[in-house]
Structure 1
Amino acid sequence: MFSAAAKVQPKVVTWRRDIHQHPELGNNEVRTAKLVADHLRKLGIEVRTGVAKTGVVGVLKGGKPGGVVALRADMDALPVAEQTGLPFASKVTTTYNGQTTGVMHACGHDAHVAILMGAAEVLAGMRDQIPGTVVFLFQPAEEGPPVGEEGGAPLMVKEGVLENPKVDAVFGLHVVPGEPGKLLWRPGPMMAASDRYEIKLKGKQTHGANPWSGIDIASMQAEVVLAFNQIAARQINVTRTPTILTVATVHGGVRYNIIPDDFTLAGTLRTFDPELRKDVMQRAEKAVESIAGRYGGKGQIEWGTPNPVTTNDPALTARMKPTLARAAKGNVKDDIDYITGAEDFSYYQQKVPGLFYDLGIGFPPGVNHSPMFNVMDEGAMEVGVRAQALTALDFLATTAK
């Protein structure tokens, strides 16, 4: 299997660079999906397209009876203008939320797709030896679907990707800045639950020279930002688990001497504890309402569709530790700190036991979601191919026994 992974590695690099140069936002991964589907069909893998909008599902039936394991890769890019200077850098632009912006694989999903395409080729080449079935999940919109649309892992699950055939376990990986080829994870909760929110504040428009004639909504929104900082830093027991409440965008006003009617704020809540999550949400709602009321205005917070905590099944994680160590030739860390980023892989884990792990790809000038993010050491992707293929093989082999 190691030699097969090494043999497919040049293809993995080529696929990754091609996908990187042609990024597509969530629910619009048409070109990427065609590349994946064409490859799987050439391997003799059963293919379903149009799953959860633009997703691709491949089913590889082994030569022996056994269980069913799923391997997942996300395909979508981000609305980021690339600044890496790579010869295969993205030049794609789009209109996003009313603004013209670049489109970039700033979170490494290009590598995820290429790695799973490589693992599919390795596994297809040894199908007669596989005791069971491998399901390949190429998922759209992990970063979130367009406003007003369904998408991502919730829609994949809703459309039955874990049911036909019925999946026994699911595995996925994510590339991160770090030692090239090192695999990292932790049992139990690993990545935070994520809640998106939007706050709408309503005041009374007036001249900037006469703030007493209206409602000073600019000061109102400033107090909301400060209150949110206090909630996370001073009102929550920070010794339990990480809790983050971030205000990321503030929009309001069109002219320097007009205090506007409206302000809109948006941001994210990250938690690991369901009770803490509920507590923070209630505190945030109370803060918005009370601050707006004190100014004589109105305020309302709306919460978007959440991502649950990404939780690695402890028994499955312990069972697969030797497999991941073999894939990385011992270069692993199985007790990493909590990660406050979020992953909709958690929706699969709510249905079947799952294991999600990270793959180090060197140290780019920028972290994930930065315009400078890059897979610095493409050789690390070979470890990813081995890890994806081996977790499937070893899970099925031990299940068959």
Structure 2
Amino acid sequence: MKTTSEASARVGDAVIYARIDEAVTDAAADLVRWRRHLHEHPELSNREAQTAAYLIEQLREIGVDDIRSGLAGHGIVATIRGRAVPQFDRRIALRADMDALPVKEATGLPYASRIEARGETGERVPVSHACGHDCHMAVVLAAARVLVSIRDVLPGEALVVFQPTEEGAPLDEEGGAQAMLDAGAFQGIEPTMVFGMHVSPLPRGVVGYRAGVQFAASSRVAVTFAGTQAHAAMPWLARDPLLAAAGFITAAASVTRTIEQTRPATVTLGHVEDIGRYNVVGEKVTVHGTLRCQDEATLANLKAALSVAAEGHATAQGCTVDVRFLQDVPALVNERAWIDAALPTLRRSTPRGLVFEVPPTMGYDDVSVFVREFGGIYLLFGVQDTQMAMDPSPRLEAAPGGRGMFANHHPGFYADEETLVDSVRIHCHVAVDHLTGLLDAGATAVGA
């Protein structure tokens, strides 16, 4: 049911939407400028100091009302206070992640990253925004600029949230969404809705949603095998941790066979760290990887099966093993009530109404921590020259004559900048509709 004050807030909606659209057009040049600067100057997880400084500088120029910074490292929460009367007890949080990846960019763009930095194990690595977080930051900055320009008609508060370390903190460090919560980032300014969209290889301008699990649950695993070092010419004097690790890596590929087939699950071991030399049987080997699934019970089963495999292969080689599961991230669940409440806004604000339900992904995003805590939705947004092919079965493919299709984390990942303007518009329409009561999972009849 609408309240009288909320119903009165509906009267000026068409005018507000027109002001949003005009302000989004005006912000397009800044959007591109911000995105290219951030793209050219990426920083790894928990190392986003210069990124944070740049964002704070832009937020001050935009004229937000308050800035909290240094949250869980380099996190930022800026507040835009609406000045309309009456004020409703709602607060929207628009979230962007900040960190980049140790991936060498291969887009050929004139503003491509040429940055190198010290990686997690101390070596120099190339760094790039191969997951598109530069796009997310630029979009949310532009949304902040738009919302500041219309705050005289906003009946609530908008938070713009820049979260570090979404890709996961380095080993033995903490960071990310949960760390921001623990640091009190939202104390006294708790949002009533969290919203964001992750750029993806979907066709340009498509909004992909799913009611239920959209992104997987995740855990990082580090398995360290320790043995006895010896000369390579006398391996019988050694207890070889590399052999134990090799057996474990092979066994890990079959761990998902212990999981019911109706429950998607993956185990990927992506890095082996060895201290040794070609003519030395080393003393220690660590295998790093990630577990993905769609519910916490399956995650617990994966952990148990991996632990058994590690213990077995360590024992077989006379080694010891230490299995550590780190940085657990819950699945991103979009509740049906939030999706139903948001769909009218998404269809109205998305050019040509390109809003479609999509399958779940085994990728993770720790914005799930915020969504679970406060409510809201997190979606996919298409930024590439792709199309849906239907024969012999539905699949995504590169569109003829386009720039190709490159998944997130690929060296060739790219985003169409003109399409990012549409993302700004959607963020702002969602913000206004939530603040005025039109988009609220607890009151889906509002605006009906």
TM-score normalised by the shorter chain: which range applies?
over 0.9
| CA deviation after TM superposition for structure 1 residue 380, in Å | 1.0
| CA deviation after TM superposition for structure 1 residue 386, in Å | 0.9
- Within 2, Cα distance between the matches of 1:28 and 1:298? 33
Residue 373 of structure 1 corresponds to: 413
- Identify if the C-alpha distance between structure 1 residues 32 and 202 changes in structure 2 by more than 3 Å, giving closer, same or farther: closer
Asked if 1 retains the 8 angstrom alpha-carbon contact of 2:77 and 2:159, the reply is: yes
- Within 2, Cα distance between the matches of 1:163 and 1:318? 29
- Identify if the C-alpha distance between structure 1 residues 219 and 146 changes in structure 2 by more than 3 Å, giving closer, same or farther: closer
* Residues 27-66 of structure 1 deviation map (CA, whole Å, 9 limit, x = unaligned): 3323322332233223331222222222221111112301
Asked if 1 retains the 8 angstrom alpha-carbon contact of 2:384 and 2:405, the reply is: no
Residue 336 of structure 1 corresponds to: 358
Gaps of 5+ in 2: 1-19, 386-403, 441-445
The aligned amino acid for 2:136 is H
Within-5 A mapping of 1:232-243:
232=256, 234-238=257-261, 240-243=262-265
Residue 247 of structure 1 corresponds to: 269
| Counterpart among 344, 348, 359 of residue 326 in structure 1 | 348
- Within 1, Cα distance between the matches of 2:79 and 2:284? 51
Residue 90 of structure 1 corresponds to: 113
- Within 2, Cα distance between the matches of 1:250 and 1:147? 14
1:63 aligns with 2:103: no
| Counterpart among 208, 217, 221 of residue 241 in structure 2 | 217
- Identify if the C-alpha distance between structure 1 residues 68 and 89 changes in structure 2 by more than 3 Å, giving closer, same or farther: same
- Within 1, Cα distance between the matches of 2:212 and 2:186? 21
Residue 379 of structure 2 corresponds to: 357
Asked if 2 retains the 8 angstrom alpha-carbon contact of 1:253 and 1:259, the reply is: no
Asked if 2 retains the 8 angstrom alpha-carbon contact of 1:187 and 1:334, the reply is: no
- Within 1, Cα distance between the matches of 2:347 and 2:355? 9
- Within 1, Cα distance between the matches of 2:241 and 2:73? 40
| CA deviation after TM superposition for structure 1 residue 74, in Å | 1.0
- Within 2, Cα distance between the matches of 1:217 and 1:26? 30
| CA deviation after TM superposition for structure 1 residue 330, in Å | 4.3
- Within 2, Cα distance between the matches of 1:317 and 1:332? 15
Residue 338 of structure 2 corresponds to: 316
| Counterpart among 294, 307, 318 of residue 272 in structure 1 | 294
**C-alpha RMSD of the superposition:** 1.9
1:389 aligns with 2:442: no
* Residues 292-319 of structure 1 deviation map (CA, whole Å, 9 limit, x = unaligned): 1122222221111211111112211110
Query: Given the two structures, how large is their TM-score scaled by the length of structure 2?
Result: 0.84
Asked if 1 retains the 8 angstrom alpha-carbon contact of 2:218 and 2:291, the reply is: yes
| CA deviation after TM superposition for structure 1 residue 244, in Å | 0.4
1:345 aligns with 2:345: no
- Within 2, Cα distance between the matches of 1:231 and 1:332? 39
Asked if 2 retains the 8 angstrom alpha-carbon contact of 1:312 and 1:356, the reply is: yes
Residue 39 of structure 2 corresponds to: 20
Asked if 2 retains the 8 angstrom alpha-carbon contact of 1:181 and 1:361, the reply is: yes
Gaps of 5+ in 1: none
| CA deviation after TM superposition for structure 1 residue 181, in Å | 0.9
The aligned amino acid for 1:218 is L
Within-5 A mapping of 1:33-112:
33-46=52-65, 47-64=67-84, 65-66=87-88, 67-96=90-119, 97-112=121-136
Q: Secondary structure at the match of 2:328?
A: coil
- Within 2, Cα distance between the matches of 1:186 and 1:61? 31
| CA deviation after TM superposition for structure 1 residue 387, in Å | 1.2
Within-5 A mapping of 1:192-231:
192-231=216-255
- Identify if the C-alpha distance between structure 1 residues 251 and 76 changes in structure 2 by more than 3 Å, giving closer, same or farther: closer
Q: Percent identity?
A: 34
The aligned amino acid for 1:383 is D
Asked if 2 retains the 8 angstrom alpha-carbon contact of 1:204 and 1:261, the reply is: yes
- Within 2, Cα distance between the matches of 1:161 and 1:220? 43
The aligned amino acid for 1:94 is A
Q: Secondary structure at the match of 2:436?
A: helix
The 10-residue stretch of structure 1 (150-159 or 223-232) with the greater mean CA deviation from structure 2: 150-159
Query: Given the two structures, how large is their TM-score scaled by the length of structure 1?
Result: 0.94
The 10-residue stretch of structure 1 (334-343 or 209-218) with the greater mean CA deviation from structure 2: 209-218
* Residues 129-148 of structure 1 deviation map (CA, whole Å, 9 limit, x = unaligned): 11111111111221123444
Residue 131 of structure 1 corresponds to: 155
- Identify if the C-alpha distance between structure 1 residues 220 and 69 changes in structure 2 by more than 3 Å, giving closer, same or farther: same
